[in-house]
Amino acid sequence: MRRDIFQAIADPTRRAIIALIALQAMTPNGIAENFNTTRQSISKHLRILTECELVKQEHLGREIYYSLEIDKMKEIDKWLDQYRKIWQTRFNQLDNVLSNLKKNKK
């Protein structure tokens, strides 16, 4: 089953993993140390993030390091941007209404 990036970021643990590896590449054990869960559970989350291409693996010796795939994160940002524009327009409209109400109260 092919997952999409929005299914991947729907889980709070996966979002926390993304936040961790955004700062620096980490091994699965290094990531697992930050959670109160099993190493196997973290591996499952990493597999899903890898399938969705939100993280990439780099083999250094016997260790695997996971890092953030910035281009995929940009896809999420691009999708969200359309809603940011709508929200900003609505907030501006609300500001105008509130300003008019204040003026009319005086």
At 36, which amino acid appears?
Answer: N
**Which positions ≥6 away from 20 have C-beta within 8 Å?**
26, 31, 34
Which residues, in sequence order, are CB contacts of 21 under 8 Å at separation 6+?
31, 55, 66, 67, 68
Confidence of residue 4 (pLDDT cuts 50, 70, 90): confident
pTM recorded for the entire structure: 0.76
Taking the domains of the chain in order of start, what are their residue ranges? 1-68, 70-106
Structure-token pair, residue 36 = 């109160």
Rg, C-alpha atoms of the chain: 20
Across residues 4-8, what is the average pLDDT? 87
pLDDT, mean over the chain: 91
Fold of 1-68: Arc Repressor Mutant, subunit A (1.10.10)
Q: Residue 22 and residue 20: Cα distance in Å, rounded?
A: 5
**Per-residue model confidence as pLDDT tens digits over 43-93:** 999 999 999 999 999 999 999 999 999 888 888 888 889 899 999 999 899
